């Protein structure tokens, strides 16, 4: 039985169960890219099931046990581990699934390209958005399935491990070292990440503990490039509400990266991004803002990706204004003019899997927020953003949830008018609306 949780990532996820916690014990040898893994997944069945499926790509399962139900048999085909039970398991049962696996992890192909585990010149990063989680651990790979995580990673002693969550422990393990990280707030599988590299660490003084990681020789450039991050956190807390996690980390890889990427409690940048140029400062602000929009408040379906990228792009414009650059309105006007020259054949409320990361999703999404800001004025607009985050903290949302927050803020009648008059033309029609002012 094949179940697809989201048409934008066909073949991933099982809506019949939800993960509560992932306990991942990984041993990784950089030479030869060899991973030995043991995952204990605590899950709850959401309906009566005869079988369940987990996603795991390109790695070989060498053992599988379940506590809480008798297993008839299990198979691993086409990146799906299917466990068939001897008797049907009722809804609401808690099971512990232990999967032992090994192999040479590699990024997983998907509609928009490859995502997940990636070898660097000297190290590893995991960039899973949107479908790469199964490239390194067995999971229920749907964005809506949030769980807590603990990563215990053993690797060559000369390397630093940075995983999602707070750093709990580092201890020697023979000629290697073991690193432990814990994510206490529930996160989506695609947002769990791991970075391994010959990295030094620099801590930043901010409202939450911030650590910058990167090659020791690039320390000065990295510290300078990310110097405004504490001020960004302070500004975004004012705009969006409290920072949602216990810490924020940044990893800068020696390898240049085409684009940086957000993951839970951290972001990964390439050495090419470590500068004070606006082209990079806006990316630093963008990735940070995803901790609120994308990571803490997550679109339950990828068709609502504008709730991540439109908001993060608008956060860039807010930071531009906050840091003494062009105002958000000036940024919005410039990008509106650029959009008028591009094809208007992308529906923001349903861009399609192939175009979900098209730049027009980012810019038109940010302009949608700007239109709402102009219609509401600043006080109500930022109340809306903070209320939306607070209501859906560590949960999943749809565009309808944003509209409900809007109605809750301004009342049913004005709310309906704003949805029809402001949001619908930006989200649910193809032509570019005129610039809002």
Chain residues that interact with Zn ion, rule: CB under 5 A: 309, 312
The least distance separating Zn ion from the CB of residue 293, rounded to whole angstroms, comes to 9
- Distance, in Å, from the CA atom of 210 to the CA atom of 266, rounded to the nearest integer, reads 9
The least distance separating Zn ion from the CB of residue 357, rounded to whole angstroms, comes to 8
**Sign (positive/negative) of CA torsion 332, 333, 335, 339?**
positive
By C-beta, is 89 or 115 nearer to Zn ion? 115
By C-beta, is 259 or 277 nearer to Zn ion? 259
**331 is written with which tokens?**
């940024």
Cβ–Cβ < 8 Å for 14, 54: yes
Cβ–Cβ < 8 Å for 367, 339: yes
The least distance separating Zn ion from the CB of residue 314, rounded to whole angstroms, comes to 11
- Distance, in Å, from the CA atom of 126 to the CA atom of 194, rounded to the nearest integer, reads 5
By C-beta, is 141 or 309 nearer to Zn ion? 309
Cβ–Cβ < 8 Å for 165, 264: yes
Please give the C-alpha separations between residue 406 and each of 96, 419, 421, in angstroms, as whole numbers: 40, 8, 13
The least distance separating Zn ion from the CB of residue 309, rounded to whole angstroms, comes to 5
In DSSP terms, 214 is beta-bridged to 200
By C-beta, is 55 or 309 nearer to Zn ion? 309
The least distance separating Zn ion from the CB of residue 307, rounded to whole angstroms, comes to 11
The least distance separating Zn ion from the CB of residue 366, rounded to whole angstroms, comes to 11
Cβ–Cβ < 8 Å for 394, 146: yes
Q: 243: closest CA among 359, 33, 394, 396?
A: 394
The least distance separating Zn ion from the CB of residue 44, rounded to whole angstroms, comes to 31
**432 is written with which tokens?**
């570019």
By C-beta, is 85 or 236 nearer to Zn ion? 236
Q: Which residue is nearest to Zn ion (CB)?
A: 312
Sheet holding 194-197, edge to edge: 108-110, 113-120, 123-127, 194-197, 160-163
Cβ–Cβ < 8 Å for 437, 377: no
By C-beta, is 179 or 239 nearer to Zn ion? 239
The least distance separating Zn ion from the CB of residue 312, rounded to whole angstroms, comes to 4
By C-beta, is 359 or 424 nearer to Zn ion? 359
By C-beta, is 192 or 284 nearer to Zn ion? 284
The phi and psi torsions of 221 (rounded to 5 degrees) equal: -65, -40
């Amino acid at each position: 039985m094949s179940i697809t949780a989201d048409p934008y990532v066909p073949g991933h996820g099982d809506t019949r169960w939800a993960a509560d916690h992932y306990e991942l014990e990984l041993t990784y040898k950089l030479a030869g890219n060899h991973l030995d893994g043991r995952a204990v997944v605590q899950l709850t069945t959401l309906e009566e099931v005869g079988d369940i499926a987990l996603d795991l790509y390109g790695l070989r399962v060498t053992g599988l046990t379940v506590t809480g139900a008798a297993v008839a048999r299990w198979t691993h085909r086409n990146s799906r581990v299917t466990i068939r039970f001897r008797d049907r398991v009722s809804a609401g049962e808690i099971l512990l699934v232990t999967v032992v696996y090994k192999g040479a992890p590699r990024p997983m192909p998907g509609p928009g390209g490859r995502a997940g585990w990636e070898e660097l010149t000297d190290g590893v990063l995991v960039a899973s958005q949107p479908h790469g989680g199964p490239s390194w651990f067995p999971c229920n790979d749907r964005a809506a399935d949030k769980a807590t995580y603990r990563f215990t990673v053993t690797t060559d002693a000369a390397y630093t491990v940075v995983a999602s969550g707070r750093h709990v422990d580092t201890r020697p393990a023979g000629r290697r070292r073991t690193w432990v990280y814990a994510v206490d707030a529930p996160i989506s599988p695609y947002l769990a990440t791991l970075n391994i590299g010959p990295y030094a660490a620099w801590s930043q003084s901010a409202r939450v503990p911030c650590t910058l990681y990167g090659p020791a020789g690039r320390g000065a450039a990295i510290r300078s490039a990310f110097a405004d991050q504490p001020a960004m956190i302070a500004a975004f807390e004012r705009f969006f509400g409290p920072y949602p996690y216990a810490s924020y980390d940044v990893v800068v890889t020696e390898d240049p990266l085409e684009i940086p990427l957000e993951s839970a409690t951290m972001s990964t940048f390439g050495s090419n991004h470590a500068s004070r140029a606006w082209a990079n400062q806006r990316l630093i602000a963008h990735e940070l803002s995803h901790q609120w929009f994308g990571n803490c408040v997550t679109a339950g379906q990828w068709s609502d990706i504008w709730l991540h990228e439109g908001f993060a792009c608008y956060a860039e414009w807010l930071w531009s204004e906050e840091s003494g650059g062009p105002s958000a309105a000036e940024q919005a006007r410039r990008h509106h003019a650029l959009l008028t020259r591009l094809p208007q054949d992308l529906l923001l409320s349903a861009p399609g899997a192939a175009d979900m990361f098209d730049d027009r999703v980012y810019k038109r999404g940010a302009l949608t927020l700007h239109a709402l800001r102009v219609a509401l004025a600043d006080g109500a607009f930022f109340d809306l953003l903070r209320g939306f985050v607070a209501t859906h903290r560590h949960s999943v949302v749809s565009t309808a949830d944003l509209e409900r927050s809007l109605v809750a803020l301004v009342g049913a009648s004005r709310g309906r008018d704003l949805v029809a008059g402001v949001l619908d033309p930006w989200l649910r029609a193809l032509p570019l609306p005129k610039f809002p002012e």
